[in-house]
Amino acid sequence: MTQSNRLNGGLINRDASLSFTFDGKSYQGYEGDTLASALLANGVRLMGRSFKYHRPRGPLTAGSEEPNALVELRSGGRQEPNTRATVAELYDGLSANSQNRWPSLERDFMAINDRFSNFLTAGFYYKTFMWPKAFWEKLYEPIIRKAAGLGSLTGEDDPDHYDKGFLHCDLLIIGAGPTGLAAALTAGRAGAQVILADEDFRMGGRLIAETGALADISGADWVDQALAELASMNNVRVMPRTTVFGAYDHGIYGAVERNADHLIAPEADKPRQTLWRIYSKRALIATGAIERPIAFENNDRPGILLAGAVRSYANRWAATPAQSVVVFANNDDAHQTARDLMAQGIKVPAIVDTRPDAADVEGIEVLKGAEIINTSGRLGLTSVQVRTEKGYTTDLYCEALAMSGGWNPNLGLTCHQRGRPVWSADIHAFVPGEGLPVGQIVAGAAKGEMSTEAALQGGAAAAVAALGDLGITASPVDLPAAADAPVSISPFWHVKGAKRAWLDYQNDVTVKDVKLAHQENFTSVEHLKRYTTLGMATDQGKTSNVGALAVMAELTGKSIRDTGTTIFRPPYTPVAMGAFGGRAVGKDFHPTRLTPSHKWAEEQGAVFVEVGNWLRAQWFPRKGETHWRQSVDREVLQTRNSVGVCDVTTLGKIDVQGADAAAFLNMVYSNAFAKLPVGKVRYGLMLREDGIAYDDGTTARFAEDHFVVTTTTANAVLVYRNMEFVRQCLCPDMDVQLISTTEAWAQYAVAGPNSRKLLQKIVDPDFDISNEAFPFMGCGEITVCGGLRARLFRISFSGELAYEIAVPTRYGDGLMRALMEAGEEFDVVPYGTEALGVMRIEKGHATGNELNGTTTALNLGMARMVSAKKDCIGNVLSRREGLNTPDALALVGLKPVDTNETVTAGGHLMNATGPVDAAHDQGYVTSAAYSPILESSIGLGFVKGGSDRMGEKLRLVNPLESQEVMVEIVSAHFLDPEGEKLRA
């Protein structure tokens, strides 16, 4: 197909012809085109269907504010719905499809909605789908969502990479039009760190869309010169294709850079988009202005565009929506559209100007004081109906209409910290008001200064002022002479009597809907927005808000100033979720922590479990084992019968040193540490301020002023943070220093009756680890394997004779291999977290399941560990009456009366007889396991007054799964209650 509407000139590269398809049909465009400009050049005006009424639509604008021309770009995993054809940069092989239509764009069955528009007004859903209530979720909402909605998701994984990063600058300039470029040149020459970002792929703003914006040089040439100079400055970062979408706290801005959206696919390993967090000392909003439409009957047909957009298409892209274009406006600016089109040989039958005193334009009839009252053309404009000042109506044949109701400063980013725009009677638009985000300044058209001259001068002056605040001296640069005509505009919002006159094209909100909202008393702007859906969806009302406010103002008899405006929230334009995710997707969603024996465990075929960020071996399957229980039972039995080794590096290790180290531990732990001898380990319980148990672990004393505290794996960071808080804030006078050594030491539990014999083969002979020389709860610094420094602790989580041995992490892999080799004669077994859990339940040791944020030392059977002789965190509140009732929950063991039955964690306990309900709750099960030693399922749990109820039978219930098991209360220490094994 020929490019029948392609004009001469423009900023496209005619040497680079690009092929693309729209709805399966092939077209040609040029490098520098957008999808919209290329389609217009090919004579295609119809590009989409509207949201609610499925009205045929073409592009209204030439920028990111586009409400109509939304398409599905690409296919497969890369399919992207709701892409604005007006900003989709053309590339060779681009494929786009129209959306929200069936079966085709030209014949859309859902266009039947348009016939029922009298019913489908604002509030239709709220009024119609009220009854029966139960139908909403199952029936009405799914149907409505299917009928409405825009593009569709592919459902496939996005194959592309996204990246993110952080940038810093003195001055962030948002928008590279005349304002932004003048500011960037000024700040760049002054040596400031500058970032110049623009959402467009070609910088220049209106300078590259207008003819004659500058007096002595073409806008595009001056832009090229300016960009060339900026590119030569090391202190200036020029970022085209970068949308600054949000203004956040402290001068931080969010921006998305589209690195590869203009390519058919990103290069391998390269990001498609990059999300930048920009830390700016000052930010200049140079985002220009957005033209607004006029509301008149059927003002939404394909071919009806904003006048400035028609100029952009003609001047920048050498494309026209049609060969015959009428102009409809209330201001002088739109007259330029007529002149530019005429110069390109396009027929302009007339300018319809609402102002009786409008200026004349040479060579074109100006219908002064006239209005367009209706239009014709089902799939594209064919004529407009004009009512002249004297009241006659006449039809003008045209295939496009260029309309302009004036320009609104593009002030979205000024509102992101709740800044409220204020009404300017001079330009009949809202301009940025008070309460701008910290460090933000506005210049040029975004500030309401609408001439090119004002934009250039304002941009330079803003840069000088902003840098002055930062102590950087800058002087304004020489700028080209530019048009400086005063704004000539008479407010004109909608043609009187028009009903189906679109205000919000994207949400199908018409003048009639605003009137209905008013009639039903939704007159506040915020209510208006929510009742009619005005200003919602992907365009966020960029072209619609002010027009609707004007209609509401008229209806309420208030001024627009008094009617007020809604404000904008981030993002300025839609941002892909992939960009927010950046590199953090899939298994890289969060960092992983690997234990020192990880590589060895992988070689053993270990099954891993995530514990926080750690990957821990859960069990080590052996050949022939088909069920995890077989592996776990074997690991438990082999450990209890001989010896097992488990990587316990993940437990937090905090080095506590200083003259007051002991006093500090006395403060953070409920039990006393001051008298712990050097070379000994003590179990400690830590409380929260409110007296609830927080964490537990062992603390070893290596010197008078040196302790090593261990914490649970899950709480390692929290405990360290808590201890730092105590050190820095609660006890700043104490002489104590903390540092984490969790990662510095590889630590293994060596447990079982043969553990000492095994260690004696590893520990150097200089160190006596016999029971007498190195008794239970001893610790010491030793050497192993011929001189490697190590730490040995005689502590036991399993209840067996056991040790924990630590070496510098780089040797952890080697030590595991050495232990396995030395242990061969004892049939040593590596065990995972599952066997670790079984053995600690058999022994009745509490973990996070029991220290669950609701239990006290009393509940845990450790009341005596809260020393009354000293103060500690949580001490006072642990004595609260309510926490110390005679029937307080107590930790007990539970076993099924019938050993074939299973104890399940999470179930609640009820008396043997009586009701099963919350009022009769006796407690709950926290941990459960199958004990291969006892050959029975066992559990730990909390029972009211449990210590005095040994032998009593309770029902363990799980009403959700209709389970009921009779269990007996026993000691939590199923195994070796006197602790003979661990002292052996």
Partner 1 sequence: MHKLKPITPLGGDTPRVDTVGSITITEVVDQALASVAARNDQAGAVQKALADKIGLSLPEVGQSSQAAPYAALWMGPEQWMVMAPHDSHELLAAELKQIVADTASVSEQTDGWCRFDVQGAGLCDLFERLSNAPVRTMGSGTAIRTTAEHLGVFLWRLAEDHMAVLGPRSSAASLHHGLLAAAKSIA
User: Least distance in Å: CB of 780 to partner 1?
Assistant: 16
- Strand 289-291 to 407-409 pairing: antiparallel
**What beta strand segments (E) does 186-303 contain?**
194-197, 236-239, 242-247, 252-258, 271-285, 289-291
Q: Is the peptide bond before 302 cis (omega within 30 degrees of 0)?
A: no
Which amino acid is present at 10? Answer: G
Measured from the CB atom, is 561 or 817 closer to partner 1?
817
Instruction: Determine, following the binding rule CB under 8 A, whether residue 886 of this chain makes contact with partner 1.
Output: no
Stretch that binds partner 1, among 165-173, 217-225, 914-922, 967-975 (CB under 8 A): 165-173
Q: Are 841 and 797 in contact (CB under 8 A)?
A: no
Question: Which structure tokens are listed for 544?
Answer: 């619609």
Q: How far apart are CA 488 and CA 332, in angstroms?
A: 6
DSSP-based three-state secondary structure for 170: strand
Task: Please choose, from the candidates 30, 68, 66, the residue with its C-alpha nearest in 3D space to the C-alpha of residue 319.
Answer: 30
* Contacts of partner 1 in 167-186 (CB under 8 A): 167-168
Q: Does 744 bind partner 1 (CB under 8 A)?
A: yes
Q: Which of 592, 771, 854, 971 binds partner 1 (CB under 8 A)?
A: 592
- Using CB under 8 A, which of 164, 335, 701, 908 touches partner 1? 164
Q: Does 713 bind partner 1 (CB under 8 A)?
A: no
Tokens at residue 522, please?
């939704």
**Which of 599, 622, 879, 880 forms a contact with partner 1 (CB under 8 A)?**
599
Stretch of residues binding partner 1 (CB under 8 A), selected from 142-150, 320-328, 430-438, 810-818: 810-818
Determine, following the binding rule CB under 8 A, whether residue 813 of this chain makes contact with partner 1.
yes
* Smallest separation (angstroms) from partner 1 to the CB of 814: 4
Closest CA to 800 of 606, 563, 979, 620: 979
- Compute CA distances 883 → 160, 440, 691, whole Å: 56, 54, 9
> 617-676: which residues touch partner 1 (CB under 8 A)?
649, 655, 657-659
594 touching partner 1, by CB under 8 A: yes
**Smallest distance from partner 1 to CB 196, Å:** 16
Q: State the Cα–Cα distance between residues 910 and 405, nearest whole angstrom.
A: 75
State how far Cα 754 lies from the chain centre.
Answer: 53
Q: What is the dihedral of CA 274, 275, 277, 280, to 10 degrees?
A: 60
Please select the residue that binds partner 1; options are 30, 568, 673, 811, rule is CB under 8 A: 811
Closer to partner 1 by CB, 789 or 880: give it. Answer: 789
Binding mask 762-791 for partner 1 (x = CB under 8 A): ---------------------xxxxxxx--
CA atoms within 13 A on the CB side of 940: 26
Helix (H) or strand (E) holding 805: strand 802-808
Count of residues interacting with partner 1 (CB under 8 A): 61
Compare residues 342 and 818 and give the one whose CB is closer to partner 1.
818
Selection from 756, 915, 882 nearest residue 826 by Cα: 756
> Counting contacts by CB under 8 A, is residue 586 touching partner 1?
no
Residue 118 burial by CB count (10 A; 0-12/13-18/19+): exposed, middle or buried?
Answer: exposed
Query: What's the sign of the alpha-carbon dihedral 434, 436, 440, 445?
Result: negative
Interface mask (CB under 8 A) for partner 1, residues 118-157, using x and -?
A: ----------------------------------------
Instruction: Tell how strand 923-931 and strand 429-431 pair up.
Output: unpaired
388 near partner 1, rule: CB under 8 A: no
Distance CA 807, CA 814 (A): 10
Distance CA 828, CA 436 (A): 69
Peptide bond into 103 cis (omega under 30): yes
How many residues does this entry show for the chain? Answer: 984
User: What is the per-residue binding string for partner 1 in 246-285, x denoting contact by CB under 8 A?
Assistant: -----------------------xxx--x--x-x------
**Which of the ranges 442-450, 637-645, 814-822, 969-977 carries the binding residues for partner 1, by CB under 8 A?**
814-822
Query: Which CB, 700 or 784, lies closer to partner 1?
Result: 784
The single residue among 562, 735, 825, 887 that binds partner 1, judged by CB under 8 A, is 735
Token look-up 């609660």 returns 730
User: Which of 34, 809, 922, 931 forms a contact with partner 1 (CB under 8 A)?
Assistant: 809
Residues 673-702 that bind partner 1 (CB under 8 A): none
Task: Using DSSP, state whether 968 is helix, strand or coil.
Answer: strand
Binding mask 182-211 for partner 1 (x = CB under 8 A): -----------x------------------
Q: Are 789 and 808 in contact (CB under 8 A)?
A: yes
List the interface residues with partner 1, window 317-336 (CB under 8 A).
Answer: none
Q: How many helices and strands, by DSSP H and E, does the chain display?
A: 23, 48
Alpha helices in 524-616 (DSSP H): 525-532, 545-556, 560-563, 577-581, 598-603
Binding status of residue 469 toward partner 1 by CB under 8 A: no
Q: Of the candidates 53, 745, 793, 831, which one interacts with partner 1 according to CB under 8 A? A: 745
User: In the bound complex, what is the minimum distance in angstroms from residue 181's beta carbon to partner 1?
Assistant: 23
**By C-alpha distance, which of 772, 796, 748 is closest to 979?**
796
The correct pick among 139, 215, 730, 739 for binding partner 1 (CB under 8 A) is 739
| CB within 8 Å of 640: residues ≥ 6 apart | 752, 753, 798, 800, 839, 933
Least distance CB 271 / partner 1 (angstroms):
5
Comparison of 211 and 741: residue with beta carbon closer to partner 1? 741
Shortest Å distance, C-beta 30 to partner 1: 30
By CB under 8 A, residue 737 contacts partner 1: yes
614 binds partner 1 (CB under 8 A): yes
Answer yes or no whether residue 495 interacts with partner 1 by CB under 8 A.
no
Q: Which of residues 815-844 bind partner 1 (CB under 8 A)?
A: 815, 818
Segment contacting partner 1 by CB under 8 A, of 184-192, 386-394, 585-593, 960-968: 585-593
Q: Should residue 611 be labelled a site residue for partner 1 when binding is judged by CB under 8 A?
A: no
CA within 13 Å, CB half, 851: 21
* 952 is a site residue for partner 1 (CB under 8 A): no
Tell me the C-alpha distance between 950 and 977, whole Å. 15
Q: How far is the CB of 633 from partner 1 (least distance, A)?
A: 30
As measured in angstroms, the least distance from the Cβ of 691 to partner 1 is 30
* Closer residue to partner 1 (CB): 161 or 292: 161
DSSP codes of every residue in 428-441: TEEE--S-PPTTEE
808 binds partner 1 (CB under 8 A): yes
Which tokens sit at 188? 């760049």
What is the distance between the alpha carbons of residues 345 and 364, in angstroms, rounded to a whole number? 13
Q: Which of 8, 166, 391, 765 lies at the binding interface for partner 1 (CB under 8 A)?
A: 166
CB of 689 to partner 1, least distance (A): 25
> Which of 213, 487, 466, 545 minimizes the C-alpha distance to 331?
487
Tell whether residue 588 is a contact of partner 1 (CB under 8 A).
yes
Question: Could you tell me the smallest distance in angstroms from the CB atom of residue 192 to partner 1?
Answer: 12
Residue among 471, 591, 765, 886 that touches partner 1 (CB under 8 A)? 591
Structure tokens at 132: 């029966």
H or E segment to which residue 462 belongs: helix 452-469
Q: Report the distance separating Cα 52 and Cα 121, nearest Å.
A: 10
Stretch that binds partner 1, among 46-54, 408-416, 740-748, 927-935 (CB under 8 A): 740-748
Residues engaged in binding partner 1 (CB under 8 A): 161, 163-168, 193, 269-271, 274, 277, 279, 583-584, 588, 590-595, 598-599, 613-614, 649, 655, 657-659, 705-706, 733, 735, 737, 739-746, 783-789, 807-811, 813-815, 818
